[in-house]
Structure 1
Amino acid sequence: MESGRNSVNMADSASESDCSVDGGPIMMPPSPVSREQLHKRIESLQQQNKVLKVELDTYKLRVKQLQEENRSLRQASVNIQARAEQEEEFISNTLLKKIQALKKEKETLALNYEQEEECLTNDLSRKLNQLRQEKVQLEQTLEQEQECLVNKLMRKIEKLEAETHAKQNNLEQLRREKVELENTLEQEQEALVNKLWKRMDKLETEKRNLQIKLDQPVSAPASPRDANNGDSAPTNSTPEQLTSHIQWLRNEVARLKHQLTLSLQEQEEKMAHYVQEEKHIRDENLRLQRRLQMEMERREALCRHLSESESSLEMEEERHYNELTGYGHVGSLGVSVTPVNRSRTTSSPVPTNRPLSPSLLTYNRDVLGLSTGISRSLIRISQERFVKPAVPPQTVSSQNPTSPAASVPHLRSSSGTSSPMDTSSGRL
């Protein structure tokens, strides 16, 4: 565009110069060199004029095209506006139709929701009544199982107590026999030692007498002392007989010494046997104590399992209760559910002096179907009836090794006052 304008300006200046030359005062004719220059300049200006005309034609054509495009764009904008108005009208109509359909659907959904809510409340009330009936049946079966388990445990404990009594009696009897055997053994040892000392004294006297006889001459008469000791050695005896008699006395002393060593060995063997038997009885006593402890631990685990099952039943009951109270339609169905202050049960039952008799538990089933407090009281009564055994203290047998059975009477004396399973105390 700028080049076209410059060419136009140059053409104007050329034409002005021509006009000034033509219309001005007559001047001197130019020289041939200036003529050629002017002629060349005129030719160049003519060429530029042609170029500018061509550009002008092209610009005119472009303006026409732009006018046509503007006209078509205006027509398209008018068409687009009309189409947008039609689309807006169509969208508004469809939205109105959808709103009306949604209103109708909302009304139908509200009716269906009310019907489903009513059916759901009826189903929940039926399920609640069924769960209450199942809970009553479970409580009855649980109570029967508890009573059966308590009876089994009582029989086992009585059996263990009887075995403990029998072992204790055997231990006492063995201890008495041991004391008697020790006394008799001491008496026998004392009598044997006295007898041996007497015989040793007698042998010493005989030895001295024989030595005196050997020292005396052969033709010497026998002394009255030798006459008194005629039962041990012959009066008229040769030296060979005396030496044989001395050898026999030595053999007798050796035999008695051997007999004494045998009796001592036998006594040591008997003592070792008694010690081993006492150790065996002590181990048996400890085994019975461990067995009793295991039975009591099993019973505690059973009590804990029963309490956990009861707590799970209570949690299930609370969940159904919360579901019913959350809907808010329970009162309209004629089911009156009273709020209950729920307290968690302990993990182990509490020992009381209540008798184990199922005839004492009476169920009011009409009230049980409408309230949850009675079932909780029945669970608490069944828990109180299940008596927890007391754990016996562990006795250390190394404190008194000579009397291992002394721990059993101590165990019975310590557990007899505090154990609720003792039938002699009148707790059951």
Structure 2
Amino acid sequence: MRKRLLSVLMIGAMASSLVACGQPNTANNGGSNAQGGGASADSSAVRLLNGKPEIDAQLQDLAKLYKEETGNELIVETIGGDTSASDELKKMYQAGNMPDIFVIEANQAASWDGKLADLKGETWTNNTEFELVDDSMGTIGFPYTVEATALGYNADVLKAAGVDPSTLTSPDAYAEAFKTLDSKKDELGIKAVLGWCAEPSNLGWSSGTHVFGQYLDAGLAADDTTYIDLLNDGGQVDHDRMLAFAEFVGMMNQYSDPDLLVDGTYDEQVAGFKAGEYAFITQGNWCVTSPDDVDFECGFAPYAFEDGIDTIIAGPPSYWVAYADGNVEGAKAFFNWCAGDSAQNILVNDAGLVSPFSDCQYEAVNPFYASMKSYIDAGKFSGWHTMLKKDGLQNQTCQVFADYAQGKLDAEGFTSTIEQVIKDYYAN
């Protein structure tokens, strides 16, 4: 089943686009909290299940403005705490209490086959190349945000160390840069070269999805599905590419903060980067959303585990979809309004997102925005094809990253183990 997670963009199509967010649901929200939901007495209202508690307040403001401008009611129900949107949706479906709009990742589409509305021909589809298209179900996904992930860096620290990030397109270049930064830690005032954590319980989503995704896509064009196609064909892995990736991850392990590497948390990782303790961080633009978060320039560098890799991963990691047995017309009306100026103003300027719509006039305030935009304008971005792997694989691969970080495996051992883990997961 083909899904267009990313299409090749015309140069400049993203000149005023890009959006942040994407961290796991670890915060408690202060708005409406849906633990099972609750249908509105007004049957014409549209219920949206939000899986990002960090933007609950902004979505509540969005709903108020939608009512003011259109007279239509949008009820935002936000999942908080450690409850995932996917788990909550299963409960709501079983209870016959489905929202009209909810969020899915591209590889979850198959589980909703026949239950999602086709949005083909809607006005908003004319202004983006990021809609999710499925061969059997049609246009099913509304892209509410664009996110990017690579090796985030502190440009001030790199400049002080004499490291030019534009040269980081090979393993040798990284080895030299990491060695230089490590030798100047005291002078630079950093704790470690890298803020990288392979703890599987709290950050398995990061290692098993985002970092693993670099093996699948780094260096490839946005529409190149070579390695995700291989993976989804019975769990096949390109051994040589995986070994090169493993050797690069080994270098990351070597230069990471040892206190963070094995037992750290997302909050500790991000706090350390924001405080200037790390030159690099293994996250995306969602980890620093406001200019007030940092007092230095942020940028992205590629995971150059092979010579010549010069891309970052960029695109929508997830989508809003309309439940076919719900208020489809209401959902369509909201999507068309949401792609317009009023909604994009809130989503970009208040929620810190990066718009996927080419006619959006607002530039994101995200500190990584300028770097993201430079890669996208140059066509130097790869797809989020990690979201098309077999659902749940990340829960298995993340343990291999953890074992490697703990010194239980070398690069060859990492490669052979992750190959076997993937093969077994696809076989079952």
More contact order relative to length (CA 8 Å, sep ≥ 6): 2
TM-score (norm 1): 0.17
Q: Looking at CA atoms only, which structure, 1 or 2, has the larger radius of gyration?
A: 1
Structure holding more strand per residue: 2
